[in-house]
């Protein structure tokens, strides 16, 4: 007899803290209400024959009765044909490592759609609704099978324009599944959990491993969890390790239609030992209609641990040009409260970057809207002279707020720059702590309307290369440095700019020195503006040299002596027009000295 009940795979899921924040920002990152009342006969069938054919028969039987559970007993099932789930079917094993689906050397693919596109995987669904996969292992390592594991795919091939609106999987879940992937070392290689254009997917609390040990291979295409287009997807609580290309990968391709990414949350995952641990790749153009642009529209990457990536810990990349320079390529991107440890040695041409937001194109083609990087901890790094421990490149309108970035307390960092900002405008760097830089805490190149405020910069230039805390190259207009606390060893200055830096403002910063050093130098003095500097001298008897203040009348410099020894000499050298008046007390003991440039 048919009964009416709320289906267990359609329960409402409360918003997490990150999701509440997203909603407050006006972005609906999740399908909040997904309860629906269904009428069918709840049915359960236990599979005791250890074959994939027996599993498929049970699925078909349960689906014919309206849905229910297919229970897999403990044991190993060799899979030679894709196990295909159906609407309202829950395939449940006896637990990770108890129920094991072993991929055969090869698996017969499934032909979907009238174009007869063929897809392979160990188990999955094609254009189905309310499928659950839980509590078993998918093993592709035993028989060296390089294909896909758990797949959620459309019912037809979206690579053909006519099928771009085909039926996709909706409200499916993959949870408490272990996937042991096999990497043959060259492309193509498989995706252990593959969400292709599916909507409302939940990928929760899985263990996904690419190989037993992390081995860098630039040719690998293997990925752990891939969202190849999709909407309202939650990836949470997963452990992912040792994938040749990416651990968690959100991507689109200009070879496929309708593959935009909308409202995806990646939270509370631990990803380790992949070339790219967590990566979002943006922008795809409909190749039959150049005016149709698919984008990343809402993505939160929050509360994850990224450890020992070989290239990027967490990255958002635009790699395909938009049709017009004014097109929006991504919006609503938030990278928040993650812990990123990057400590592997440099391998090949890779630059080890903790967090990157970058447009890897020669020209500015496509615009982001609202990229926020906040409250992350990024430690370690070996990016050499290249990108930096945090890399913002070719992207406008980025907020970098309340992060901690620095070298490991034991080994420091080999990253020349902790924060490298290149060809980016309207960047707000606020409230961060940057420490233990091999050279500069911040490198800025060709950036306009940069604001650096309320930061703490500590232990700069551990390589003693003489580069400033903030190292500016190229051309800058309207940079602002305000309320920063700067502690610099040796002779390193605060800001080292060049003559093409114009309209700079440096207001109310505090700078601690222990040897000859400059505050601000080498910019276009005629256009710059300064307020009050506080200079704390910790080692006494030093001379402030090298164009510390490059402006005439009105700049107030306060020098604070913190010990009992008199300051024997302070010189404020000015290379622009105007004169420098120095006043100095001669009494012993702690003292404050004020200098007025006029």
Letter string b/e over residues 543-567, b meaning 16 or more CB atoms within 10 A of that residue's CB? ebbbbbbbbbeebebebbbeeeebb
Whether the pLDDT of residue 546 is over 60: the answer is no
- Between 258 and 378, residue with greater pLDDT: 378
Q: Residue 470: what pLDDT?
A: 84
Q: 435 in a domain, yes or no? A: no
In a domain, 454, yes or no: no
- The verdict on residue 587 lying in a domain is yes
CATH of the domain at 24: 2.160.20.10
Residues 6+ positions from 132 with CB-CB distance below 8 Å: 9, 89, 90, 91, 92, 172, 173, 175
- End-to-end CA, the chain: 94
Q: Which pairs count as long-range contacts for 437-440, CB under 8 Å and 24+ apart, including other chains?
A: 437/406, 437/407, 437/413, 437/461, 437/462, 437/469, 438/407, 438/412, 438/413, 438/414, 438/462, 438/463, 439/463, 439/465, 439/467, 439/471, 440/416, 440/467, 440/468, 440/469, 440/470, 440/471
Q: What would the two tokens of residue 111 be?
A: 């032909």
pLDDT, one tens digit per residue, over 75-118 is 999 999 999 999 999 999 999 999 999 999 888 777 776 555 67
Residue 434, pLDDT > 70, answer yes
Q: What is the largest CA-CA distance in the chain?
A: 100
Measured between alpha carbons, how far is residue 487 from residues 452, 473, 493, 592 in Å? 16, 22, 10, 19
The pLDDT score that the predictor gives to residue 233 is: 95
SS3 401: strand
Higher-scoring residue by pLDDT: 345, 62: 62
Q: What is the pLDDT of residue 479?
A: 85
Percent of the chain with pLDDT over 90: 31
High-pLDDT (> 70) share of the chain, % = 62
Continuous segment of H or E residues that includes residue 165: none
Of 40-54, 307-321, 479-493, the one with minimum mean pLDDT is 479-493
Query: Quick check: is 130 in a domain?
Result: yes
Residue-wise DSSP of 307-335: E--SSEEEEEEE-S--SSTTSEEEEEEEE
In DSSP terms, which residues pair with 231 in a beta bridge? Answer: 199, 262
How confident is the model over 256-268, as pLDDT tens digits?
A: 556 678 899 999 9
- Residue 293 falls inside a structural domain: no
The pLDDT mean for the chain works out to 74
Asked if residue 359 has pLDDT above 90, the reply is: no
As a whole number of angstroms, the distance between CA 153 and CA 483 comes to 52
Region 47-76: mean pLDDT is: 92
Residue 417 lies in a domain: no
Residue 503 has what pLDDT?
77
- Mapped onto helix, strand or coil, the DSSP state of residue 199 is strand
Instruction: List the structure tokens of 153.
Output: 């795919």
45 and 63 Cβ atoms separated by less than 8 Å: no
Q: How many domains does the chain have?
A: 2
pLDDT in the model for residue 368: 63
Q: Which domain holds residue 12?
A: 1-245+254-268
Q: What is the pLDDT of residues 141-200, one digit of tens each?
A: 999 888 899 999 888 766 665 555 678 899 999 999 999 988 876 666 789 999 988 999
Whether 489 is in a domain gets the answer yes
Considering the domain boundaries, does residue 408 fall inside one?
A: no
Q: What is the pLDDT of residues 438-481, one digit of tens each?
A: 778 888 888 889 999 999 988 776 666 667 788 888 888 888 88
**Two structure tokens written together for 284:** 């795809």
Q: Which residue has the higher pLDDT, 368 or 125?
A: 125
| pLDDT tens-place string over residues 200-257 | 999 999 999 988 776 777 778 889 999 988 889 999 999 999 998 899 999 876 555 5
Q: Is the pLDDT of residue 402 over 80?
A: yes
Of the two residues 466 and 332, the one the predictor is more confident about is 332
């Amino acid at each position: 007899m048919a009964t009416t009940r709320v289906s267990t795979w359609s329960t409402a899921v409360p918003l997490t803290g990150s999701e509440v924040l997203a909603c407050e920002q006006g972005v609906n990152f999740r399908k909040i209400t997904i309860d629906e009342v269904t009428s069918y006969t709840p049915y359960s069938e236990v599979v005791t024959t250890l074959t994939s054919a027996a599993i498929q028969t049970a699925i078909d039987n349960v689906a014919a009765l309206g849905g229910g559970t297919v229970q897999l007993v403990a044991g190993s099932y060799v899979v030679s044909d894709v196990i295909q789930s159906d609407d309202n079917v829950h395939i449940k094993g006896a637990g990770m490592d108890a129920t094991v689906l072993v991929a055969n050397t090869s698996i017969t693919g499934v032909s979907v759609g009238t174009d007869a596109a063929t897809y392979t995987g160990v188990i999955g669904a094609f254009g189905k609704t309310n499928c659950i996969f839980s509590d078993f292992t998918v093993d592709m390592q035993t028989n060296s099978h390089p294909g896909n594991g758990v797949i959620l795919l459309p019912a037809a091939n979206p690579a053909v324009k006519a099928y771009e609106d085909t039926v996709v999987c909706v409200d499916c879940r993959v949870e408490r599944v272990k996937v042991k992937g096999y990497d043959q070392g060259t492309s193509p290689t498989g995706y252990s959990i593959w969400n292709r254009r599916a909507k409302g997917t939940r990928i929760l609390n899985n263990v996904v491993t690419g190989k037993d040990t992390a081995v860098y291979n630039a040719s690998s295409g293997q990925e752990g969890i891939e969202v190849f287009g999709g909407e309202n997807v939650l990836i949470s609580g997963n452990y992912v390790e040792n994938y040749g290309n990416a651990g968690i990968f959100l991507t689109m391709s200009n070879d496929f239609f309708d593959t935009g990414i909308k409202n995806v949350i990646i939270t509370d995952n631990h990803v380790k030992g992949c070339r790219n641990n967590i990566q979002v790749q943006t922008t795809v153009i409909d190749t039959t209609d150049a005016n149709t642009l698919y984008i990343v529209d809402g993505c939160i990457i929050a509360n994850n641990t990224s450890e020992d990536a070989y290239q990027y810990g967490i990255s958002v990349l635009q790699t395909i040009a938009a049709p017009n320079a004014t097109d929006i390529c991504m919006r609503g991107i938030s990278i928040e409260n993650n812990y990123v440890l990057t400590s592997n040695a440099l391998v090949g041409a890779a630059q080890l970057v903790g967090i990157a937001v970058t447009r890897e194109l020669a020209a500015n083609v496509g615009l982001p809207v609202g990229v926020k990087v906040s409250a992350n901890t990024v430690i370690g790094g070996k990016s050499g002279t290249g990108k930096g421990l945090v890399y913002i490149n070719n992207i406008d309108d980025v907020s970098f707020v309340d992060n901690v970035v620095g070298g490991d307390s034991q080994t420091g960092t080999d990253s020349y720059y902790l924060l490298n900002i290149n060809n980016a405008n309207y960047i707000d760097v606020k409230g961060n702590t940057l420490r233990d830089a091999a050279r500069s805490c911040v490198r800025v190149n060709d950036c306009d309307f940069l604001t650096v405020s309320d930061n703490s910069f500590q232990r700069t230039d551990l390589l003693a290369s003489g580069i400033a805390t903030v190292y500016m190259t190229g051309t800058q207009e309207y940079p602002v440095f305000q309320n920063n606390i700067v502690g610099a060893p040796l002779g390193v200055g605060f800001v080292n700019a060049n003559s093409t830096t114009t309209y700079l403002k440096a207001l109310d910063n505090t700078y601690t020195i222990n040897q000859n050093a400059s505050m601000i130098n080498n910019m276009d003095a005629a256009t710059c503006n300064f307020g009050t500097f506080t200079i704390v001298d910790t080692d006494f008897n030093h001379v402030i040299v090298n164009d510390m203040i490059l402006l005439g009348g009105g700049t107030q410099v306060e020098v604070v002596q913190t010990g009992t020894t008199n300051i024997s000499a302070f010189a404020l050298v000015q290379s622009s027009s105007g004169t420098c008046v120095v006043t100095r007390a001669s009494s012993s003991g702690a003292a404050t000295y004020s200098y007025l440039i006029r």
